[in-house]
Amino acid sequence: MPLEGAARIVSELTSRGYNAEREAVTKIASAENPPAVLDRVVDELPADALVVRTTHVDAVLTAATHPSTATDPDRPSEPLDSKQGAARNGTPPSASTGVETANTHDSAGDSPVETGGSHIEREVDLSKRSLEIAGDMTGQSTGTGAYEDFVSVFRDRLDRLGGKLRGRVNHRPATAIQSMPGGSEAGMVGLVNDIRSTASGHWLIELEDATGTFPWLVMKDREFADLVDQLLCDEVLAMEGTLSDDAGIAFVDSLYFPDVPRTHEPSTADRHVQAALISDVHVGSQEFMADAWNAFADWLHTEQAQHVEYLLLAGDMVEGVGVYPDQDDELDIVDIYEQYEAFNEHLKRVPGDLDIVMIPGNHDAVRLAEPQPGFDETLRDIMSAHDPQIVSNPSMVTVEGVSVLMYHGVSLDEVIAELPEEKASYEDPHKAMYQLLKKRHVAPQFGGHTRLAPEEKDYLVMDEVPDIFHTGHVHKLGFGKYHNVLAINSGCWQAQTEFQKSVNIDPDSGYAPIVDLDTLDVTVQKFS
């Protein structure tokens, strides 16, 4: 569907005093004669209607194809559940969802407050919305696994992240430093090739660039020595210091990460609009929390959620098959395609006017190696409810001027395992995200637990600083700000599995962080 076609339809409906669900606009634009369908839909709207719904369009399209079976345009062409039907007929359904609110700090509380609500006619002006995608590598994969592919991706990483560091040190290539006389001042930008401690308790860090390697010694009594504990192999780093007398090593005086500038000022929306950031739904698992999901979907139809216009889902829509040992024993749905069909049915419960963006995760039916392309056409056809945008993991999504880096988060396991607990832990997953922001890369370490695919370019580099960094994967809720970047790990919709018990994971289930895009404040809604 051409974007300009949808935009014209939205503009025309707005001029006539109506808002519209996204899927309704899509269906009108896809019709054989969109202007005629639009006129007919408006003519047949109930007198009290403010929003053009998908059911209104379906009724007109059905009448045009089968005149003898024309139906009341305000009656759904497919059965709705009892709550939806009651709302449409003016009978408010009961809603008793737990609601938890919090300002933007490092963790949410645990005391839900009971509230009530009912389905309302959501008044949404689609013409004010804007959503752009950058970094989607779906269909762009070029890696073959050849040696040259690995060289290419690391050269690209060094070039792009090194460009953020070379102005901070008097950079020289490794081979040039090797030929400098002892006692010289030197600076280098390179990939961390090796980290090891000496017998005296100092740290030896080997940096590598396109010309070779050179060793740098961090003395244990230097004020920045504790930063060594935060280093990962293959991240890009800058160091400067003094060469030893024999010029065989350099003593480090300072080191720099690509990092987020402390002066970073995030962008915000120019109107009050909200986005729900969720992940790890895991439909198909016996522990999928359908009641919590339904409560969330119902809440989105209430007045309290009328400003939620975007839903960003950071991977693991389904439980998958064969992801971990003995997973079959914990599956409610054993066929992967049926899992996605069930997920799509659950997605249908949310309001049809939401703009939805989804990326895959490690449980989804895509390649495990990152970056992960978006789903194939078969799965896209299955997950068609409300016409979601399905993009790669990671991708940068700009919502009304606010950039959101969506990344499922598999590398968080590695960051948490490698770094000190006060810097990265499962209890505070957002702090592990801070480390990725500091390194300006979502998965810097190659050859560890995180599977990385060699591509022509490194799609995992953070070229631009996001306003929001959104991850999932670890099934823990946490959020906070690092140099004014809002980092959110959004929890999950799956109760604790036997496998999670065996590895001591106690999930935060049934939470939905809601971000005010005009202020970047966070409210956490709890539905379990």
pLDDT one-digit tens code per residue, 173-183: 999 999 999 99
- Kindly list the structural domains of the chain, giving each domain's residue range(s) and its CATH number in brackets, ordered by start: 2-64 (1.10.8.60), 126-139+263-526 (3.60.21.50), 167-256 (2.40.50.140)
Which one of 116-120, 288-292, 319-323 scores highest in mean pLDDT?
288-292
| pLDDT reading at 115 higher than 90 | no
Where does the pLDDT of residue 101 fall: very low under 50, low under 70, confident under 90, or very high at 90 and above? very low
CB contact set of 94 (below 8 Å; sequence gap of 6+)? 116, 118
pTM: 0.80
With bands split at pLDDT 50, 70 and 90, how would you rate the model's confidence at 48?
low
At residue 67 the predicted structure's pLDDT band, cuts being 50, 70 and 90, is low
Distance CA(412)–CA(29), nearest Å, equals 42
Is 506 in contact with 496 (CB distance < 8 Å)? Answer: yes
Q: Give the pLDDT score at 500.
A: 83
Percent of the chain with pLDDT over 90: 68
Specify the pLDDT at position 49.
76
79-93, 123-137, 190-204, 403-417 — which is least confidently predicted?
79-93
**What confidence score (pLDDT) does residue 14 get?**
67
Indicate the SS3 state at residue 200. coil
Query: Are the CB atoms for 306 and 312 separated by under 8 Å?
Result: no
Q: Which residues contact 525 (CB under 8 A, 6 or more apart)?
A: 97, 99, 100, 296, 299, 511, 512, 513, 514
In percent, how much of the chain has pLDDT > 70? 88
Query: What pairs with residue 485 in β-bridges?
Result: 482
Better-scored residue on pLDDT, 235 or 70: 235
In this prediction, residues 408-429 reach a mean pLDDT of 94
CA-based torsion, 116, 121, 127, 131: positive or negative: positive
Residue 412 has pLDDT above 60, yes or no: yes
Tell me the average pLDDT across 288-297: 96
Mean pLDDT rounded to a whole number for the chain: 87
Cβ neighbours, 10 Å, residue 335:
12
Compute the half-sphere exposure of residue 125: CA atoms within 13 Å on the CB side of its CA: 10
Query: Quick check: helix, strand or coil at residue 149?
Result: helix
pLDDT at res. 424? 93
- Rounded alpha-carbon distances, angstroms, from residue 95 to 43, 79, 121, 304: 34, 20, 16, 12
For residue 237, what is the enclosing H or E element?
strand 236-243
pLDDT of amino acid 16 = 77
Q: Residue 77 — very low, low, confident or very high, per pLDDT cuts 50/70/90? A: very low
Pairwise pLDDT comparison (65 vs 24), residue with the higher score: 24
Is the pLDDT score of 528 beyond 80? yes
- Mean of pLDDT values over 116-120: 63
Residue 444: pLDDT band with limits 50, 70, 90: very high
Three-class SS state of 392? coil
The pLDDT score that the predictor gives to residue 118 is: 65
DSSP letter (8 states) at residue 104: S
Strand partners, 134: 396
